[in-house]
Amino acid sequence: MKHLLIVDDNDKYARILDEYYKNLGYTIDRAVDGAGGYSAVKEKGLEHYQVIVTDITMETQMAGLTMLKRLYKEGYRGMVVVASTGFDVPLAKPLTRCFLGRMGIDYLVPKTTVLSGKLEYYPMAFFSKPIMDFREIESEHKIA
């Protein structure tokens, strides 16, 4: 079974992401902030979630980047997808890809594509084209 954790404080985005990934066969858990996401991973084990989809900025004490830093330090090796609204402005995607790629994040998803229901996955390589089908990513990362 494929397990995915959504970490987002926005119910609308979380609901869209939940439906999208359920249609791809994932069992979904959700946390509304980084602290809840961190707790979920620690409770279920570092190997439980093959994928974490997180916002990086949330109105809480522990945002997505802090959660990810802690999980990586403790040995999490699954795939990380960041879905955030801040990447939809000019020049933000290339600059953010440079920054996030160094943090171990695998893909960037602008939230405008989440709202449309047609998610675009930007690999962290600076000049890579977006991937439009998550099944292609699953195949590449050998997620069964």
Q: Which tens digits make up the pLDDT trace of 58-67?
A: 766 678 888 9
From 84, 130, 83, 77, select the one nearest 104 (Cα to Cα): 77
Nearest Cα to Cα of residue 105 among 91, 84, 88: 84
pLDDT given at position 89: 66
Q: Give the chain's radius of gyration (CA, Å).
A: 14
Question: φ and ψ at 81, to 5 degrees?
Answer: -115, 130
Packing angle, helices 64-74 and 34-44, rounded to 10: 20
pLDDT at 104: 83
- Domains of the chain, earliest start first: 2-141 (3.40.50.2300)
Report the pLDDT value the prediction gives residue 90, as an integer from 0 to 100.
65
Q: What confidence score (pLDDT) does residue 87 get?
A: 66
pLDDT for the residue numbered 58: 74
Other CB atoms within 10 A of residue 136 CB: 11
Low-confidence spans in the chain with pLDDT less than 50? none
Residue 136 and residue 89: Cα distance in Å, rounded?
Answer: 26
Q: Give the per-residue pLDDT at 56.
A: 81
Q: Tell me the pLDDT tens digit for each residue of 75-107.
A: 999 999 988 766 666 666 677 777 777 788 899
Cβ(84)–Cβ(99) below 8 Å: no
Per the CB < 8 A criterion, the answer to whether 34 and 66 are in contact is yes
